[in-house]
Amino acid sequence: MALQLSLLHHSAVVLVVLFSFLLHHGESAATQGVCATHDLPNPLAERFPNNATGVLNATLAIIPIPLETARRLIPPQYGILERAYRALIPNFPEGMYPIMVQAAHDHDIQLRAYNITTGDFSRVGFEFPFLDLVGDGYSSFRWGPAQLITATNDIALEGSRAYGTIVSLAEFEPRCDAYRRLANGATYFKGSSLTSSEFVELEMARLSHPALNPYPLELFKNITNQPAFANATSCDNMIRLFNTTMSVGEHAPVPVRGRVRARAFPFQGAAEKEWADVYGVQVATPFIENNYLDCRTLRGYSGTGGPGDS
Ligand SMILES: *[C@@H]1O[C@H](CO)[C@@H](O)[C@H](O)[C@H]1NC(C)=O
Ligand SMILES: *[C@@H]1O[C@H](CO)[C@@H](O)[C@H](O)[C@H]1NC(C)=O
Ligand SMILES: *[C@@H]1O[C@H](CO)[C@@H](O)[C@H](O)[C@H]1NC(C)=O
Ligand SMILES: *[C@@H]1O[C@H](CO)[C@@H](O)[C@H](O)[C@H]1NC(C)=O
Ligand SMILES: *[C@@H]1O[C@H](CO)[C@@H](O)[C@H](O)[C@H]1NC(C)=O
Ligand SMILES: *[C@@H]1O[C@H](CO)[C@@H](O)[C@H](O)[C@H]1NC(C)=O
């Protein structure tokens, strides 16, 4: 226990998360047992036994919104680095900002050296990339103010709350996978809050011509590797690797198009939102996660440093 803690960062937050983990470990493992997933196993646990590693099988989709709307939704102290996203998507419509919706199944999370595993869970939320958190005019950070998370996974719920995230206990369809296949060939994913009318639903179809995809994979690599924060007390450095066997060949990213319906933070009001013609990718990536870092230490961070990333 002492060893584990010295490896992680000595913050109260980590203590809380680990303590909660130890309390609920048995319960999570039992819950996981009844739910079979199609996700491939974590390929990084062996190579990075002293780090938290796992797999995220996800739909990542871009919702363009007017910059004025973005400015209203994003806390005013965080500048929007328009130049940074225009460098990746020069043809993105004028006056618009790319929100990313991330709908994912977290699988096979491990801290291998200590035999620590966490039950799988699902989560969905709106993420606001390319934000100038540290005020240097170029380091991109990603604001993820709120998430719907599988209600039975206490570690995931507490781990996210510790960032200051607004966490909604939720149930998911499907329960143990990143999405399910509909009769028409499209994929379906829905997270619904158990305590409010919040939900996020995605229905996506494979693009008939990959060339129709307006967003290069580079954009999604870039956004998902930006340090993430919620209330900016600390930052999450999640390193997503796109070139392991999990994301190439038969598992190569699939460009998709579809619609997103939602009633969720930070979109306010009782009315649900619907976005049609949303483009994105479905891809499973392994990750290494360095939690609860001082955001200022990530100034200038523009990459990942981990082998297997490109
Ligand atoms: C991701 O999830 C989908 C839906 O369950 C599954 O078909 C696919 O094989 C998964 N991909 C990987 C690499 O685990
Ligand atoms: C693994 O964790 C250690 C200790 O927190 C950290 O210094 C190192 O950068 C992590 N490795 C990777 C590849 O992120
Ligand atoms: C992300 O894109 C920016 C340009 O907007 C670039 O400076 C940075 O190196 C990229 N980071 C990664 C991890 O690709
Ligand atoms: C991890 O589990 C394996 C098999 O259950 C066991 O042999 C090993 O001693 C455990 N290691 C630690 C550090 O607990
Ligand atoms: C951010 O959230 C954390 C965890 O809930 C909390 O301890 C901290 O006080 C919050 N900070 C601010 C500035 O709201
Ligand atoms: C992934 O790409 C990096 C270079 O960007 C390379 O060093 C590494 O060997 C690649 N890994 C795999 C599994 O292809």
Judged by average pLDDT, the poorest of 29-38, 221-230, 263-272 is 29-38
Position 24 confidence tier, pLDDT thresholds 50, 70, 90 = very low
Q: What gap in Å lies between CA 56 and CA 62, rounded to an integer? A: 18
Residue 234 Cα to ligand 2 middle (Å): 16
Shortest-distance Cα residue to atom 1 of ligand 3:
222
Question: 38 CA to middle of ligand 1, Å?
Answer: 5
Ligand 1 atom nearest the C-alpha of 107 is 14
Residue 207 has pLDDT above 60, yes or no: yes
Q: What is the pLDDT averaged over residues 158-178?
A: 98
pLDDT above 50: residue 306: no
Residue 19 DSSP class: H
Nearest partner of 87 among 98, 78, 102, judged by Cα: 98
The residue whose C-alpha atom lies closest to atom 7 belonging to ligand 4 is 115
Best residue among 166, 233, 294 to mutate for probing ligand 5's pocket (most ligand atoms within 8 Å of CB) is: 233
Residue 246, φ and ψ in degrees, nearest 5: -70, -20
The residue ranking higher by pLDDT, 1 or 149, is 149
Does any ligand 2 atom lie closer than 6 A to the CB of residue 306? yes
- Other Cβ atoms less than 10 A from the Cβ of 192: the count is 18
| C-alpha neighbours within 13 Å on the C-beta side of residue 185 | 6
pLDDT, tens digit, 9 for 90 and up, residues 253-289? 999 999 999 999 999 877 899 999 999 999 999 999 9
Residue 79 contacts by C-beta under 8 Å, 6 or more apart in sequence?
131, 132, 135, 137
As a whole number, the mean pLDDT across the chain is 89
- pLDDT tens-digit series, residues 105-164: 999 999 999 999 999 999 999 999 999 999 999 899 999 999 999 999 999 999 999 999
What's the burial of 234, exposed, middle or buried (CB within 10 Å: 0-12/13-18/19+)? buried
Domains in the chain: ranges and CATH: 5-298 (2.40.400)
* Residue 90: pLDDT band with limits 50, 70, 90: very high
Give the pLDDT confidence score for residue 309 in this predicted structure: 33
In this prediction the pTM is 0.89
Ligand (nearest to CA of 244): 6
Structure tokens at 247: 């994301």
Ligand whose nearest atom lies closest to the CA of 286: 1
302 C-beta closer than 6 A to ligand 3 = yes
Residue 11 clears pLDDT 70, i.e. is over it: no
pLDDT, residue 34, reads 66
Determine the pLDDT at residue 23: 39
Ligand 4 neighbour 115 (Cβ under 6 A): yes
Res. 21: pLDDT tops 50: no
Is the pLDDT assigned to residue 74 strictly greater than 50?
yes
Least confident piece of the model among 30-39, 70-79, 174-183, 277-286: 30-39
What atom in ligand 1 is closest to the CA of residue 247? 13
Q: Whose CA is nearest to atom 5 of ligand 3?
A: 84
What is the reported pLDDT for 300? 86
Q: How many percent of the chain have pLDDT more than 70?
A: 86
Per-residue pLDDT, 69: 97
pLDDT value at 183 more than 60: yes
Residue 194 has pLDDT above 90, yes or no: yes
* 2 has a pLDDT exceeding 50: no
Q: Which ligand is nearest to the CA of 303?
A: 3
Q: Which one of the ligands is nearest to 232 CA?
A: 5
What is the bridge-based pairing of β-strands 166-173 and 146-150? parallel
CA 215 – CA 271 distance, rounded (Å): 29
Given a cut of 70, whether residue 18 has pLDDT beyond it is: no
How far is it, in rounded angstroms, from Cα 15 to Cα 2?
A: 11
- C-alpha 44 to ligand 2 mean position (Å): 13
